[in-house]
Structure 1
Amino acid sequence: MRMIHPLLSALALGMAAPLVAQTAPATAPAAAPAPAPAAFTLPALPYAPDALEPAIDAQTMTIHHGKHHQAYVDNLNKAVATDAALKGMTLEQLVTKAGTLPAAVRNNAGGHWNHGFFWKTMVPPAQAGTASPALTKAITAQFGSMDQFKAAFKAAGTARFGSGWVWLIVKPDGKLAITSTPNQDNPLMDAAEDKGLPILGNDMWEHAYYLKYQNRRADYLDGWWQVVNWGEVSRRFAAASKR
């Protein structure tokens, strides 16, 4: 009988044996850290997008709130995140010192504050109501009558060159005044020409009215009175008068 060399026999057995892969035990990937919550968020509209018709159409409200206001919020969060000195500051703190801050913070903090104020200044036409006796008395004393006040407010709004806002404010001496500001500035800012507490404000940027009124800003200002929330404006006036 032919003898098989022991070495060849061992090799044959080794080749026949199954190969077992040596693998390291699997480990779960480390969880990514949760992103920090945004400092500022978009507030919900206090009414449905179509609630202000016919003064302001639903499409304008949807775009104005969901696109334009959201952009101010997003850009403000980005601007604040790049400056450690601004982290933790409230929106009101940013607005009041806006003149000392970078343009990205000033513009977007103003845009965020102004629009939050603007949405609350309006209600569906059936809920508009009238100014309180105290506010009516103050408006009459300052402007002659409610109609004369509205005419002066309209004149200031139509005279605002380019984009901006028109406001009714309570000045530090307690008197009412109509003023307008460029871009997203407002009367709370240290850089404002006329400072005071806003109690009423209307957006003069074209995105606020162009889909319905096109270039007819005066018509927009006339129609807007249908949706002014006089209860809220009166509440603001009462609060400002106590300061």
Structure 2
Amino acid sequence: MAFELPPLPFDKTALEPVLSAETFDFHHGKHHKAYVDKTNGWIDEKGLAGLSLIDVVKKAKDTGDKGLFNNAAQIWNHSFFWSSLAPEGSTKPSEKLQALIDSGFGSTAALLDKLAAEAVGHFASGWAWLVLEGDALKVTSYHDADTPIVYEGVKPLFTLDVWEHAYYIDYRNARPKFAESVLGKVINWDFVSQNLDGLGASRADQQQG
């Protein structure tokens, strides 16, 4: 029994020039794969057989197993991140999402500015998030591998990876330019809109195969 590296939901050239095929070769093919391989190496040792990915993440959190948490959570975080992206101009917010954006931030541009500020201002490695808490949108961030799926009442809608490995090939150390480009051009608004149903966590979950 093992978890798998999920395929990208688009061709690795589909987001160019915002994100290059080379970035996906490394970010998906090496970094994400390493988290999968490391987690799978612990399945028998740590009694994880039969558990879903989310179950493993929550068990690691509850038992204080930092090594397992960091790797399993990063499988989920990255899977969710790939689904958060789409080719430029291919999606737009649903009417329901747009209404929440307008009421919470004033405009889509203002929301993106807040997300970019959160991403750029986050110290060291982590993730910038758009989540739903109750009936309102919230912009936040988590350090390292931390993830909204272990917090009660926090429903993930969108994420931006701000670990250096997310942008070092295409943007070197320029996190602000990376954030501006991704947020301004390749958000998968269809995915964000869909996640308003509160089931976003399940869309990056997987069972052991």
TM-score (norm 2): 0.89
8 Å CA contact 1:187–1:197 kept in 2: the answer is yes
Q: Does 1:100 align with 2:59?
A: no
Which blocks of at least 5 consecutive residues in structure 2 are unaligned?
201-209
Match of 1:204 in 2: 162
Matches within 5 A, 1:199-238: 199-225=157-183, 226-238=185-197
Structure 1 residue 239: deviation in Å? 4.3
Task: Name the CA distance, whole Å, in 2 between partners of 1:206 and 1:240.
Answer: 29
**Percent identity between the two aligned chains:** 37
Listed one character per residue, the Cα deviations across residues 23-49 of structure 1 (whole Å, up to 9, x for unaligned) are: xxxxxxxxxxxxxxx420111112221
Task: Name the CA distance, whole Å, in 1 between partners of 2:7 and 2:35.
Answer: 14
8 Å CA contact 2:127–2:144 kept in 1: the answer is yes
CA distance 1:80–1:195, shift in 2 (3 Å): farther
Structure 1 residue 79: deviation in Å? 2.1
Listed one character per residue, the Cα deviations across residues 105-130 of structure 1 (whole Å, up to 9, x for unaligned) are: 10011110011111111112242x21
Structure 1 residue 139: deviation in Å? 1.0
Larger Cα-atom Rg: 1
| 3-state SS, counterpart of residue 170 of structure 1 | strand
8 Å CA contact 1:111–1:184 kept in 2: the answer is yes
- C-alpha RMSD of matched pairs (Å): 1.7
| 3-state SS, counterpart of residue 150 of structure 2 | coil
Indicate the structure whose relative CO is greater, using CA pairs within 8 Å and at least 6 residues apart: 2
Which blocks of at least 5 consecutive residues in structure 1 are unaligned?
1-37
TM-score (norm 1): 0.77
Listed one character per residue, the Cα deviations across residues 28-73 of structure 1 (whole Å, up to 9, x for unaligned) are: xxxxxxxxxx420111112221111011011011111110010000
Any runs of at least 4 consecutive aligned residues in structure 1 with deviations exceeding 6 A, and if so which? none
